[in-house]
Structure 1
Amino acid sequence: MKTTHRWLSIVEGCLLVALGIHLLQASHLLISGTAGLGLVLIQVTNLSFGQLFFLLNLPFYLLAWWTLGPGFTLRTFFAIALLSLLSELMSRFMVLTIHPLLASALGGLLVGFGLILLFRHQASLGGLNILAVYLERRFNWHASITLLIGDLGILILALALLTPSQVLASLLAFMALTSVVKRYHRPPAWAVPKPAGAG
């Protein structure tokens, strides 16, 4: 039952993230991390977001395997592959017209809640998320801090490729995502320091 719950939650998290990214992509906006980098690079390559997202994450599997273990790595690989597939399906079969500000707010919230589901079930969407989970496990550094730093890097890169209005709207998505993760994500028990004298 526990295993079924975990994998079902990972699938649900990927669905939320895929829908959030699809909303953002429909308005030519960005989000943080490797997904954000993929949304930037589709502006300058012939690859789809799903293809780019899958390829960009390949180097991070070694970090995940060495630092977070094979179980985490396999769940993350599954989540990345599923998100890439869902993104391809949504881009082909779901046509959206949505105001950029609404897409930004909803997209950021959906991606944020999707990430929480993945984090709570020992998985991630690779790239910066792997680093975020690793830093939380190793140094009890809240995942939202790492994601915020990554957001700033993506925004700087976006300034060269997007209009100022697109960058500002994307900033709303970044803020929504970070706010959701910071308020609702709770580090697992092994990441919380024990009080002095506790067994």
Structure 2
Amino acid sequence: MKRNTHRWLSILEGCILVALGIHILNSAGLLISGTAGMSMILIRLTDFSFGELFFFLNIPFYCLAWFTLGREFTLRTFISVSLLSLLSEWMTHYATLTIHPLLSATLGGLLVGFGLIILFRHNASLGGLNILAVFLERKFSIHASKTTLIADVGIFIAALVFLDLSQLGYSLLAFILLSSVVGRYHRPPEWAQVQDQEIH
């Protein structure tokens, strides 16, 4: 019971860190990687909010998670995605920020990175490319930071259409900081090894 409570509190804390990081980046018109970055681009093209887009874009990835990463992982990921969507909506309505883009990129990239680390260590993710990163790490020993970096490049290329050069530069800084944090602090947790044995 105590271990389970600790896990869910950690997941909540991870979601809060990521939501705050994304809100800081959104406030400065900057981007981050993965499904969150896709949502940040799409809010410029649609009438949907970030929270709504993030939630719906993740739906197709639950099938991959369910059949390859397990029911528990999928459940925790679904709850994490839902929490982040709700927290993002709440922050958009109640937290107005004016931050220099350099500080926004630094804080946003670091907060999202550390939030993801917490989620990875508790058998959860924020869906989308994070599911793919965990899947590739567990099945093929490809470090999550490599998958994240590839996603960063794709989002950055798509962002060329929507951002000016200064915004692109600051967004690139956020990308680098996020990848650096994941690369230095993420270690495959014990649950990955245990569940691999269950799968095989």
What TM-score, normalized by structure 1, do the two folds share?
Answer: 0.95
CA distance 1:190–1:55, change in 2 (3 Å): closer
- The percent identity for this pair of structures is 67
Q: In the aligned structure 1, how far is the partner of 2:188 from the partner of 2:71?
A: 20
Instruction: Give the structure 2 partner of residue 157 of structure 1.
Output: 158
One-letter amino acid of the structure 1 residue matched with residue 84 of structure 2:
L
- 1:191 Cα offset (Å): 5.2
Q: In the aligned structure 1, how far is the partner of 2:58 from the partner of 2:177?
A: 24
Equivalent runs, 1:37-186 vs 2, <5 Å: 37-186=38-187
Per-residue displacement from partner, 1:54-86 (whole Å, max 9, x unpaired)?
010010000000100110000000000000000
Instruction: Give the structure 2 partner of residue 197 of structure 1.
Output: none
Instruction: Give the structure 2 partner of residue 195 of structure 1.
Output: none
Instruction: Give the structure 1 partner of residue 33 of structure 2.
Output: 32
Q: How many residues align?
A: 192
Per-residue displacement from partner, 1:126-184 (whole Å, max 9, x unpaired)?
00000000011111111000000000000000001111111111000000000001111
- 1:190 Cα offset (Å): 6.1
SS in 1 for 2:135: helix
Q: In the aligned structure 2, how far is the partner of 1:164 from the partner of 1:51?
A: 28
Q: CA RMSD in A?
A: 0.9
Q: In the aligned structure 2, how far is the partner of 1:189 from the partner of 1:55?
A: 30
SS in 2 for 1:96: coil
SS in 1 for 2:69: helix
Give the unaligned 5+ runs of structure 1. Answer: 193-199
Q: In the aligned structure 2, how far is the partner of 1:157 from the partner of 1:58?
A: 22
One-letter amino acid of the structure 2 residue matched with residue 16 of structure 1:
L
Extract structure 1 runs of 4+ deviating beyond 6 A.
none
- 1:189 Cα offset (Å): 3.5
Q: In the aligned structure 2, how far is the partner of 1:163 from the partner of 1:21?
A: 19
One-letter amino acid of the structure 1 residue matched with residue 154 of structure 2:
G
Q: In the aligned structure 2, how far is the partner of 1:189 from the partner of 1:114?
A: 19
